[in-house]
Amino acid sequence: MILALGTVTLDRVEDANGAVREGPGGSAPYFAAAATRHHDVRVVGVVGPDYPRAPLDRLQALGVDLGGIRSSAEPSQRWHARYDRDGNRTTLSSDRRILEGFRPDLTDEEKAAQALFLGSIDPAVQGHVLRQWLPVLRGPYDRGSVPPPAPRDRVRVVALDSMSHWIGSRRDDLVTLLPHLTVLFGTSDELLELGDRASIEDAVAALLDLGPDLIVEKRGRAGARAYAWPTPDIAATERARGMQPPRERRILTWTATTTPISAPDPTGAGDAFCGGFFGKWVECQPLRSEPGHSPGLDSQLLQVCLVAGVEAGTRAASVPSWETLR
Protein backbone atom coordinates (compact mmCIF):
# COMPACT_ATOMS: atom_id res chain seq x y z
CA MET A 1 0.00 0.00 0.00
CA ILE A 2 1.08 3.56 -0.76
CA LEU A 3 0.21 6.00 2.01
CA ALA A 4 -0.49 9.33 0.29
CA LEU A 5 -0.48 12.52 2.37
CA GLY A 6 -1.75 15.71 0.78
CA THR A 7 -4.39 18.39 0.55
CA VAL A 8 -8.06 17.80 -0.27
CA THR A 9 -9.42 21.08 -1.60
CA LEU A 10 -12.25 22.88 -3.31
CA ASP A 11 -10.81 24.70 -6.32
CA ARG A 12 -11.92 27.78 -8.21
CA VAL A 13 -10.05 27.98 -11.51
CA GLU A 14 -10.18 30.71 -14.16
CA ASP A 15 -8.72 30.52 -17.65
CA ALA A 16 -7.63 33.16 -20.15
CA ASN A 17 -11.18 33.42 -21.50
CA GLY A 18 -12.58 34.21 -18.08
CA ALA A 19 -14.32 30.87 -17.66
CA VAL A 20 -14.62 29.77 -14.05
CA ARG A 21 -15.10 26.27 -12.71
CA GLU A 22 -15.45 25.12 -9.15
CA GLY A 23 -14.77 21.57 -8.15
CA PRO A 24 -12.87 19.12 -5.98
CA GLY A 25 -9.10 19.13 -6.14
CA GLY A 26 -5.98 18.90 -4.03
CA SER A 27 -2.65 17.12 -4.22
CA ALA A 28 -3.92 13.93 -2.55
CA PRO A 29 -6.89 13.11 -4.86
CA TYR A 30 -4.95 13.82 -8.06
CA PHE A 31 -2.00 11.72 -6.89
CA ALA A 32 -4.21 8.88 -5.67
CA ALA A 33 -6.39 8.74 -8.78
CA ALA A 34 -3.26 8.29 -10.92
CA ALA A 35 -1.32 6.00 -8.57
CA THR A 36 -4.20 3.59 -7.91
CA ARG A 37 -3.96 2.51 -11.52
CA HIS A 38 -0.75 0.73 -10.51
CA HIS A 39 -0.94 0.09 -6.75
CA ASP A 40 -3.24 0.28 -3.73
CA VAL A 41 -3.41 3.80 -2.26
CA ARG A 42 -4.69 5.12 1.05
CA VAL A 43 -5.17 8.90 1.31
CA VAL A 44 -4.34 10.88 4.44
CA GLY A 45 -5.90 14.34 4.36
CA VAL A 46 -8.44 16.55 6.10
CA VAL A 47 -11.78 18.07 5.09
CA GLY A 48 -14.24 20.35 6.80
CA PRO A 49 -18.00 19.93 7.30
CA ASP A 50 -18.64 21.85 4.07
CA TYR A 51 -16.86 19.33 1.82
CA PRO A 52 -19.32 17.51 -0.49
CA ARG A 53 -19.50 13.74 -0.17
CA ALA A 54 -20.11 12.99 -3.85
CA PRO A 55 -16.51 13.66 -5.04
CA LEU A 56 -15.15 11.43 -2.29
CA ASP A 57 -17.54 8.68 -3.31
CA ARG A 58 -16.31 8.96 -6.90
CA LEU A 59 -12.69 8.83 -5.75
CA GLN A 60 -13.46 5.75 -3.69
CA ALA A 61 -15.15 4.17 -6.71
CA LEU A 62 -11.79 4.42 -8.50
CA GLY A 63 -10.34 2.11 -5.85
CA VAL A 64 -8.78 4.70 -3.53
CA ASP A 65 -8.91 3.93 0.20
CA LEU A 66 -10.30 7.03 1.95
CA GLY A 67 -10.01 5.63 5.47
CA GLY A 68 -7.20 8.07 6.20
CA ILE A 69 -9.19 11.24 5.55
CA ARG A 70 -9.77 13.09 8.80
CA SER A 71 -12.57 15.54 9.65
CA SER A 72 -12.19 19.05 11.05
CA ALA A 73 -14.53 21.75 12.28
CA GLU A 74 -12.60 24.28 10.19
CA PRO A 75 -13.78 25.11 6.65
CA SER A 76 -12.27 22.93 3.92
CA GLN A 77 -9.21 24.29 2.18
CA ARG A 78 -10.11 26.47 -0.80
CA TRP A 79 -7.83 27.46 -3.63
CA HIS A 80 -8.43 30.10 -6.33
CA ALA A 81 -6.13 30.43 -9.35
CA ARG A 82 -6.01 31.88 -12.86
CA TYR A 83 -4.18 30.45 -15.90
CA ASP A 84 -3.04 32.53 -18.86
CA ARG A 85 -3.02 31.29 -22.46
CA ASP A 86 0.38 29.67 -22.01
CA GLY A 87 -0.77 27.70 -18.99
CA ASN A 88 1.11 29.85 -16.47
CA ARG A 89 -0.66 29.99 -13.12
CA THR A 90 -1.29 32.82 -10.72
CA THR A 91 -2.64 31.86 -7.29
CA LEU A 92 -5.23 34.44 -6.28
CA SER A 93 -6.06 33.05 -2.86
CA SER A 94 -5.68 29.95 -0.71
CA ASP A 95 -7.43 29.38 2.60
CA ARG A 96 -5.16 27.04 4.56
CA ARG A 97 -6.66 27.49 8.04
CA ILE A 98 -7.64 23.83 8.24
CA LEU A 99 -3.96 22.82 8.07
CA GLU A 100 -2.94 24.82 11.15
CA GLY A 101 -4.15 22.12 13.55
CA PHE A 102 -3.84 19.14 11.22
CA ARG A 103 -1.33 16.67 12.70
CA PRO A 104 -2.70 13.19 11.88
CA ASP A 105 -1.72 10.28 14.11
CA LEU A 106 -1.11 7.27 11.89
CA THR A 107 -2.77 3.94 12.59
CA ASP A 108 -0.66 0.79 12.82
CA GLU A 109 -1.85 -0.15 9.33
CA GLU A 110 -0.74 3.21 7.95
CA LYS A 111 2.66 2.97 9.66
CA ALA A 112 3.18 -0.40 7.98
CA ALA A 113 2.57 0.94 4.45
CA GLN A 114 5.16 -0.16 1.91
CA ALA A 115 5.60 3.34 0.52
CA LEU A 116 4.91 6.91 1.63
CA PHE A 117 4.14 9.87 -0.59
CA LEU A 118 4.39 13.29 1.05
CA GLY A 119 2.29 15.40 -1.29
CA SER A 120 2.35 19.18 -1.48
CA ILE A 121 1.23 20.34 1.97
CA ASP A 122 2.67 22.21 4.96
CA PRO A 123 6.18 20.79 5.66
CA ALA A 124 5.25 20.59 9.35
CA VAL A 125 2.55 18.07 8.43
CA GLN A 126 4.95 16.19 6.13
CA GLY A 127 7.50 15.93 8.94
CA HIS A 128 4.87 14.85 11.47
CA VAL A 129 3.78 11.95 9.26
CA LEU A 130 7.32 11.00 8.23
CA ARG A 131 8.48 10.76 11.86
CA GLN A 132 5.73 8.24 12.58
CA TRP A 133 6.23 6.20 9.41
CA LEU A 134 10.01 5.78 9.57
CA PRO A 135 10.89 3.57 12.56
CA VAL A 136 14.24 5.30 13.01
CA LEU A 137 12.42 8.57 13.68
CA ARG A 138 10.20 7.32 16.48
CA GLY A 139 10.76 7.93 20.18
CA PRO A 140 12.28 11.22 21.38
CA TYR A 141 12.31 12.63 17.85
CA ASP A 142 8.52 12.85 17.86
CA ARG A 143 8.96 16.25 19.47
CA GLY A 144 10.06 17.68 16.17
CA SER A 145 13.78 17.18 15.58
CA VAL A 146 15.00 14.96 12.75
CA PRO A 147 18.00 12.68 13.38
CA PRO A 148 20.54 11.53 10.80
CA PRO A 149 19.12 8.86 8.51
CA ALA A 150 19.70 5.19 9.15
CA PRO A 151 20.36 2.76 6.27
CA ARG A 152 17.16 2.42 4.27
CA ASP A 153 15.18 -0.75 3.90
CA ARG A 154 15.17 -1.32 0.14
CA VAL A 155 11.43 -2.11 0.20
CA ARG A 156 10.13 0.92 2.11
CA VAL A 157 10.44 4.04 -0.02
CA VAL A 158 9.37 7.63 0.48
CA ALA A 159 8.79 10.44 -2.02
CA LEU A 160 8.12 14.14 -1.48
CA ASP A 161 6.58 16.88 -3.58
CA SER A 162 6.25 20.53 -2.59
CA MET A 163 5.46 23.92 -4.13
CA SER A 164 6.99 27.39 -4.33
CA HIS A 165 4.83 28.70 -1.49
CA TRP A 166 6.33 26.23 1.01
CA ILE A 167 9.85 26.41 -0.43
CA GLY A 168 9.84 30.19 -0.08
CA SER A 169 8.45 30.28 3.45
CA ARG A 170 9.66 26.98 4.95
CA ARG A 171 12.78 25.99 3.04
CA ASP A 172 14.75 25.00 6.16
CA ASP A 173 11.97 22.64 7.26
CA LEU A 174 11.94 20.98 3.85
CA VAL A 175 15.72 20.56 3.82
CA THR A 176 15.59 18.57 7.08
CA LEU A 177 13.39 15.99 5.32
CA LEU A 178 15.65 15.48 2.28
CA PRO A 179 18.06 12.92 3.87
CA HIS A 180 15.15 10.51 4.30
CA LEU A 181 13.82 10.62 0.74
CA THR A 182 14.05 8.08 -2.02
CA VAL A 183 12.49 10.43 -4.60
CA LEU A 184 12.18 14.23 -4.64
CA PHE A 185 9.73 15.74 -7.14
CA GLY A 186 9.75 19.37 -8.23
CA THR A 187 9.17 21.70 -11.15
CA SER A 188 12.21 23.31 -12.73
CA ASP A 189 11.63 26.56 -10.79
CA GLU A 190 11.01 24.72 -7.52
CA LEU A 191 14.24 22.73 -7.80
CA LEU A 192 16.20 25.90 -8.56
CA GLU A 193 14.71 27.60 -5.51
CA LEU A 194 15.12 24.64 -3.17
CA GLY A 195 18.64 23.89 -4.39
CA ASP A 196 19.53 27.60 -4.22
CA ARG A 197 21.50 27.47 -7.47
CA ALA A 198 21.38 29.36 -10.77
CA SER A 199 21.28 26.31 -13.08
CA ILE A 200 19.18 23.17 -12.90
CA GLU A 201 22.31 20.99 -13.10
CA ASP A 202 23.89 22.67 -10.08
CA ALA A 203 20.61 22.65 -8.16
CA VAL A 204 20.11 18.94 -8.81
CA ALA A 205 23.67 18.14 -7.73
CA ALA A 206 23.22 20.12 -4.51
CA LEU A 207 19.93 18.38 -3.73
CA LEU A 208 21.28 14.90 -4.48
CA ASP A 209 24.10 15.62 -2.04
CA LEU A 210 21.48 16.27 0.66
CA GLY A 211 20.09 12.76 0.51
CA PRO A 212 17.48 11.81 -2.12
CA ASP A 213 18.41 8.87 -4.34
CA LEU A 214 16.56 10.40 -7.26
CA ILE A 215 15.42 13.88 -8.34
CA VAL A 216 12.50 14.07 -10.77
CA GLU A 217 12.03 17.38 -12.57
CA LYS A 218 8.49 18.12 -13.73
CA ARG A 219 8.92 20.16 -16.91
CA GLY A 220 5.31 20.84 -17.85
CA ARG A 221 4.69 20.62 -21.57
CA ALA A 222 8.31 19.55 -22.09
CA GLY A 223 7.71 16.31 -20.16
CA ALA A 224 9.95 15.21 -17.29
CA ARG A 225 13.53 14.35 -16.45
CA ALA A 226 15.09 12.23 -13.69
CA TYR A 227 18.56 12.65 -12.19
CA ALA A 228 20.77 10.42 -10.02
CA TRP A 229 24.40 9.90 -9.20
CA PRO A 230 25.82 6.88 -11.06
CA THR A 231 26.27 4.98 -7.77
CA PRO A 232 23.73 6.35 -5.27
CA ASP A 233 24.53 3.69 -2.68
CA ILE A 234 28.19 4.81 -2.64
CA ALA A 235 27.12 8.44 -2.48
CA ALA A 236 24.94 7.67 0.54
CA THR A 237 27.91 6.03 2.27
CA GLU A 238 30.07 9.07 1.57
CA ARG A 239 27.42 11.40 2.96
CA ALA A 240 27.14 9.28 6.11
CA ARG A 241 30.89 9.72 6.60
CA GLY A 242 30.60 13.50 6.20
CA MET A 243 32.20 13.46 2.74
CA GLN A 244 30.94 15.18 -0.39
CA PRO A 245 30.61 13.05 -3.54
CA PRO A 246 33.34 13.97 -6.05
CA ARG A 247 32.21 16.74 -8.34
CA GLU A 248 33.75 15.10 -11.38
CA ARG A 249 31.08 12.42 -11.29
CA ARG A 250 28.54 12.86 -14.05
CA ILE A 251 24.90 12.91 -13.03
CA LEU A 252 22.86 10.36 -14.96
CA THR A 253 19.68 11.62 -16.60
CA TRP A 254 16.54 10.05 -18.06
CA THR A 255 13.97 11.99 -20.10
CA ALA A 256 10.36 11.50 -21.20
CA THR A 257 8.55 13.94 -23.48
CA THR A 258 4.86 14.67 -23.85
CA THR A 259 2.55 15.52 -26.71
CA PRO A 260 0.72 18.85 -27.15
CA ILE A 261 -2.89 18.98 -25.97
CA SER A 262 -5.61 21.49 -26.82
CA ALA A 263 -7.35 23.67 -24.23
CA PRO A 264 -5.36 22.28 -21.31
CA ASP A 265 -6.29 22.80 -17.68
CA PRO A 266 -3.01 22.16 -15.84
CA THR A 267 -4.66 21.96 -12.42
CA GLY A 268 -3.46 18.80 -10.69
CA ALA A 269 -1.24 17.71 -13.59
CA GLY A 270 1.91 17.78 -11.46
CA ASP A 271 0.26 15.77 -8.69
CA ALA A 272 -1.07 13.26 -11.23
CA PHE A 273 2.43 12.98 -12.71
CA CYS A 274 3.76 12.08 -9.25
CA GLY A 275 1.01 9.50 -8.89
CA GLY A 276 1.73 7.86 -12.23
CA PHE A 277 5.48 7.80 -11.64
CA PHE A 278 5.47 6.66 -8.00
CA GLY A 279 2.61 4.21 -8.43
CA LYS A 280 4.51 2.50 -11.23
CA TRP A 281 7.74 2.62 -9.20
CA VAL A 282 6.17 0.85 -6.22
CA GLU A 283 4.39 -1.65 -8.49
CA CYS A 284 7.71 -2.67 -10.04
CA GLN A 285 9.81 -2.69 -6.87
CA PRO A 286 9.77 -6.48 -6.40
CA LEU A 287 11.65 -6.73 -9.69
CA ARG A 288 14.61 -5.01 -8.03
CA SER A 289 15.83 -7.12 -5.15
CA GLU A 290 19.63 -7.04 -5.10
CA PRO A 291 20.95 -6.28 -1.60
CA GLY A 292 22.83 -3.01 -1.24
CA HIS A 293 21.06 -1.19 -4.06
CA SER A 294 18.46 1.53 -3.86
CA PRO A 295 15.12 0.34 -5.30
CA GLY A 296 14.31 1.09 -8.88
CA LEU A 297 17.51 2.87 -9.89
CA ASP A 298 17.96 1.16 -13.21
CA SER A 299 17.49 2.76 -16.60
CA GLN A 300 14.67 0.62 -17.92
CA LEU A 301 12.47 0.99 -14.85
CA LEU A 302 13.10 4.73 -14.55
CA GLN A 303 12.12 5.23 -18.18
CA VAL A 304 8.90 3.25 -17.66
CA CYS A 305 8.06 5.32 -14.56
CA LEU A 306 8.72 8.60 -16.34
CA VAL A 307 6.41 7.59 -19.18
CA ALA A 308 3.70 6.54 -16.71
CA GLY A 309 4.01 9.90 -14.97
CA VAL A 310 3.89 11.92 -18.17
CA GLU A 311 0.84 10.01 -19.37
CA ALA A 312 -1.00 10.67 -16.09
CA GLY A 313 -0.06 14.35 -16.11
CA THR A 314 -1.22 14.73 -19.71
CA ARG A 315 -4.57 13.12 -18.93
CA ALA A 316 -5.04 15.40 -15.91
CA ALA A 317 -4.29 18.48 -18.03
CA SER A 318 -6.66 17.48 -20.81
CA VAL A 319 -9.87 17.82 -18.74
CA PRO A 320 -10.79 19.66 -15.51
CA SER A 321 -11.04 16.56 -13.35
CA TRP A 322 -9.05 13.76 -11.78
CA GLU A 323 -11.75 11.25 -12.71
CA THR A 324 -10.21 10.35 -16.09
CA LEU A 325 -6.96 9.26 -14.44
CA ARG A 326 -8.11 5.75 -13.60
Degrees to nearest 5, angle at CA 79 with 181 and 54: 90
Q: Which long-range contacts (CB under 8 A, 24 or more apart) does 161-165 make?
A: 161/27, 161/117, 161/118, 161/119, 161/120, 161/185, 161/186, 161/270, 161/271, 161/274, 162/120, 162/123, 162/186, 162/190, 162/194, 163/120, 163/190, 164/189, 164/190, 164/193, 165/91, 165/94
- How much is the average pLDDT of 228-257? 64
pLDDT in tens, 281-317: 999 875 444 433 444 467 888 899 999 999 999 888 8
pLDDT digits (tens, 9 = 90+) for 26-64: 999 999 999 999 999 999 999 999 999 999 999 999 999
**Confidence class for position 6, pLDDT limits 50, 70, 90:** very high
Q: What is the mean pLDDT of residues 7-27?
A: 84
Q: What is the pLDDT of residue 208?
A: 95
DSSP collapsed to 3 states, 272-319:
HHHHHHHHHHHHHHHHCCCCCCCCCCCHHHHHHHHHHHHHHHHHHHHC
| Percent above pLDDT 90 for the chain | 58
- Contact call for residues 282 and 114 (beta carbons, < 8 A): yes
How far apart CA 159 and CA 129 sit, in angstroms, is: 12
Q: Give the pLDDT score at 236.
A: 53
What pLDDT shows up at residue 251? 83
Name the β-bridge partners of 283.
Answer: none
Residue 154 has pLDDT above 50, yes or no: no
Instruction: Output the CA torsion 215→168→7→95 (10° steps).
Output: -160
Q: Provide the pLDDT for residue 15.
A: 79
pLDDT at 286: 55
- Residue-wise pLDDT tens digits, 59-94: 999 999 999 999 999 999 998 888 887 777 888 888
Q: How confident is the model at residue 261 (pLDDT cuts 50, 70, 90)?
A: low
CA distance 32 to 132: 21
Instruction: For 103-148, write each residue's pLDDT tens digit.
Output: 999 999 999 999 999 999 999 999 999 999 986 443 333 334 444 4
Per-residue pLDDT at 216: 97
- What pLDDT, on a 0 to 100 scale, did the predictor assign at position 324? 64
pLDDT at position 323 over 60: yes
**What digits encode the pLDDT tens for the residues 270-288?**
999 999 999 999 998 754 4
Task: Domains for the chain: give ranges and CATH numbers.
Answer: 2-318 (3.40.1190.20)
Ranges 26-30, 237-241, 242-246, most confident: 26-30
